[in-house]
Structure 1
């Protein structure tokens, strides 16, 4: 098997190249590629490492059949079409912690610059003026700082602001009361934040829900003399409304590191003295650039070599320590899902719900990636190219309810996974365990005990439990020159419904399958592939 191959298409620290190479990954460093040039060569690579310059569009992804992972050295993934990547089964990672301190420090620096009018005072003094009375500032001590977003960066800003003896309030839909206490903030709703804050600083991602979160109404609802800081993403506030509020004197100042359109070379805000502007410098320190480059290289290497997933936007995380332990369980989940999916695809019924149960040792694991593997197994027979990345999204798109159940009790097996598909007419379960050194093994189909190893090619037959079936079935395969590798039987009761599952050396020809389906006592015959 050839080594994975990664393309770095933006300027990253040389240390990132060294990390890939030290892990045995082939890497090409080609910053500054034009879109057409990127599309022309991306098909050669398993991974793509970018910063913000490269645009990973649907067209780029369409040209990348080998691509497994896109790593963004930075927090945002605005330049990556995450939906298209997910649909194609490509993991998208970012590095949310690598530049968090640097960005938080920039926000604090902007706050000081606003409070003491430092840029204007510096320019005035350098111009030979000594306008001491013109630049009357305000103290930060005792002021109320309103955080919109209290994640990685927002919590660091809160820590620094608490050190300045500011009162910190925060709006964040995902902030729990416990976490608010831990980071020293008062959790409030957005309207309360707008009404109370002397300074508002934004640390939220750009989404449809957060677009213009500080709109015209909220900007003018701020206290007279309030200040706004945005070091997160352009588009989180209404720049035209901000201009009007500043020019009218309603707001005392604003500090912006990001803009709706970047690069921002012409804006009405630039004409106002009470606006501090920087060219998207939030992560622009030597330490941050090194950190995010090293982090993205480590994350991508771990994924390509061991399947570990860190800081993924579109897939559950799997640590490097978990990956080896989870791998056999993921394969078991995938094979169980594939069995249930193939049996369902054969009859064409629409799946309404998929339930995955974990029992015994499996109940103690990280179940999210296992469920994703089971979903991939179920959906692949019906939809084609499905993997752990896009399976949850595809299930959601089709309105399929997905549920996980953890049963800590011990049953007949030390570990057990059960996958159940539900339609409007019926539900069907398959269950399996791990044996030996982690080999997946089937133990149950539709409530009937069937002990069987999975094989690349199998034939599943349901029949009436009557004498003569095995002889007729075996003779049919023998006469067709088909060798039986494994043979497994199960039944619900004597004379009731029976299951025959055989492992074969190759696929069953259509003509032979038709003959099997026509045998006495045969109810159903389905070819399986794993």
Structure 2
């Protein structure tokens, strides 16, 4: 029976769902980092909110850990690269508190527009300063969204209902999606110049940190009102204070801060500034929703292999997971093979599936290919960030599904475009679901892919295999398996050998100078 630790305070529904699904659960909250490290080794899953910090040290001690589930959106407290390296799936619940957070942003926008907090304090102090609090209408004003994902799109929908005009800056927002939402996609500079209100709905990354910097704030419309219910660090707080003090910024409302809990921010007491203590997800409905969702997602993964809302691998339904697992292993190894052989020469990649593979969800297969392909460039690559790394390199990625029946009951082909032309490798699954290479660069070959291997292209001539075996034997390199393919008799041949130890240095130099050798490459899977 899988065992899960709930290390942060969570609605009781979470533990109930775990137990109903056959998962043992302990609710132990408030532990220090060292205490967590001492106990985490016995758990298969870790359910958290924002308090628990899942660091590299915690993950190193979590020898049985398979999944971390964050009841909420932000995963700033999880070292995702270290989790990926450790083979730990990281999930969040991006939809459980989306409406709650979006509504809080709208509420703060109204509070800024009508100066509600200060008007309340003044009135309860016995003053009746009706002429002091002259607000603005939101109707017909322009709302600028920085981030038009799940929460941003909900804010846009509510704003359009208030008869506002909505413009959005989001590098991943397509023109078609913008049209569907009824908003206008713009550059960041255009948004800053046009927006009467700005709301932020983006995660905190190196690209988004201080996206509203002093320079950016200087480009805003005079009197702009700014709302941040996303993440502290998206706004330069010192520059924001200067803008409020100068009157260039008409008002700001922050639910999040660079340092939390924020008990001594220089923004406190600044005119036209409103703050709340990270209440974006703080409604009864949201707390119950995220607890239920994280428990359901983690239980599905631990009991059946289903993956939902994962940040470091594609999502799979509980029904899909067992079927796709061997195909993903095959795809990852084919991608790794091409990546190691061609490296930086690849300009485009096509992932083609036929037979039984064509009936499956292709996204996880594509993600696995790209993860294998890009691993030569990054040791933190995974099936989630591989597509973005590919895009950064300008790699054109295509998916092709064939209905035709071929020589194999199922086939995955990875075709790449290089300066030398197109090349492809193909693989299938044998009866025991083991990945098997069946073609490499136009040459038929049947080979396992795993561990330490040697890839050799040579002229097909008598005596070559014997000389190769002698060279490796004299160097103390033991051959595990030996696979041979060729275009034609006495033509170009390909050898794939699994070896028990790495081949490098002087031995590799010897192999490259052997008569008939055209190319030698050490591979690792």
> Which band: TM-score by shorter chain?
0.7 to 0.9
Quote the residue 1:330 is aligned against.
328
Equivalent of residue 307 in structure 1, options 299, 305, 317? 305
SS of match in other structure, 2:31: coil
Structure 1 equivalent of residue 226 of structure 2: 228
Q: Which has the larger radius of gyration?
A: 1
Partner SS, residue 271 of structure 1 = coil
Q: Which residue of 1 aligns with 2:85?
A: 87
Q: Name the structure 2 match of 1:206.
A: 204
* Distance 1:289-1:413 versus aligned 2 partners, 3 A rule: same
Kept in 2: contact 1:89–1:390 (CA 8 A): no
User: What is aligned with 1:254?
Assistant: 252
2:155 and 2:434 map into 1 onto residues whose CA distance is: 49
Q: Quote the offset at 1:36 in angstroms.
A: 0.6
Distance 1:276 1:363, change over 3 A: same
Structure 1's 310 and 464: CA in aligned 2 closer, same or farther, altered over 3 A?
same
Distance 1:14 1:306 in 2: 23
1:153-206 superposed Cα distances (whole Å, 9 cap, x missing partner): 111111111111112222212222221122121222222222222111111211
Taking a change above 3 Å as real, the CA distance of residues 139 and 447 of structure 1, as seen in their structure-2 partners, is closer
2:126 corresponding residue in structure 1: 128
Aligned equivalent of 1:139, options 131, 137, 140: 137
Q: 1:495 to 1:309 in 2, by over 3 A?
A: same
Q: Which residue number corresponds to residue 408 of structure 2?
A: 413
- Map 1:430-469 to 2 at 5 A: 431-434=426-429, 443-444=438-439, 447-449=442-444
Aligned to 1:277: 275
Contact kept? 2:426, 2:439, Cα under 8 Å = yes
The 3 A distance-change label for structure 1 pair 408 and 353 is farther
- Which piece of structure 1 moves more, 486-495 or 201-210? 486-495
Structure 2 CA distance for partners of 1:4 and 1:248, relative to 1, 3 Å: same
Aligned partners of 2:222 and 2:249 also within 8 Å: yes
Q: 1:400 to 1:57 in 2, by over 3 A?
A: farther
Aligned-pair CA distance for 1:250: 2.4
- 1:339-363: CA deviations, max 9, x gaps? x59xx99xxx785568674232334
Match of 1:107 among 99, 105, 121: 105
Aligned to 1:369: 364
Contact 2:459 2:493 in 1 (8 A): yes
Distance apart, 1:258 and its partner CA: 0.8
Q: What is the DSSP-based 3-state SS (H/G/I as helix, E as strand, rest coil) of the residue aligned with 2:413? A: strand
Mapping of 1:70-81 within 5 angstroms? 70-81=68-79
Contact 1:258 1:280 in 2 (8 A): yes
Q: What is the TM-score when the length of structure 2 is the normalising length?
A: 0.78
Native 8 Å contact 2:81 2:380 kept in 1: no
Q: Any idea what the Cα deviations from partners look like across 1:203-227, whole Å, max 9, x if unmatched?
A: 1211111111112233233333221
In structure 1, the partner of 2:513 is: none
User: How has the CA–CA distance of structure 1 residues 453 and 222 changed in structure 2, closer, same or farther, with 3 Å as cutoff?
Assistant: closer
Change (3 A) 1:192 1:333: closer
CA distance change for structure 1 residues 249 and 406 in 2, over 3 Å: closer, same or farther? same
Q: Which residue of 2 aligns with 1:55?
A: 53
Residue matched to 1:515:
none
Secondary structure of residue in 2 paired with 1:268: coil
Q: 3-state DSSP class of the match of 1:217? A: helix
Residue in structure 1 matching 2:352, options 334, 350, 358 = 358
- Evaluate the alpha carbon distance shift between residue 249 and residue 451 of structure 1 in structure 2; reply closer, same or farther with a 3 A threshold: closer
**Superposed CA offset, 1:378-405 (max 9, x none):** 999x99x999669959998xx9989666
RMSD over equivalenced CA pairs, Å: 4.6
Instruction: Name the CA distance, whole Å, in 2 between partners of 1:332 and 1:97.
Output: 32
Q: Which moved more, 1:351-360 or 1:447-456?
A: 447-456
In structure 2, relative to structure 1, the CA distance for the partners of 1:356 and 1:17 (3 Å cut) is farther
* Structure 1 residue 59: Cα displacement: 1.4
Stretches of structure 1 that go unaligned for 5 or more consecutive residues are: 474-483, 510-522
TM superposition shift of 1:120: 1.5
- Equivalent pair of 1:465/1:491 in contact (CA under 8 Å): no
Q: Does structure 2 conserve the Cα–Cα contact (< 8 Å) formed by 1:86 and 1:389?
A: no
Aligned-pair CA distance for 1:4: 2.4
Number of residue-to-residue matches in the alignment? 497
Question: Hey, what's the Cα distance between the residues in 1 that align with 2:384 and 2:168?
Answer: 34
Given candidates 286, 295, 298, the residue that maps to 1:297 is: 295
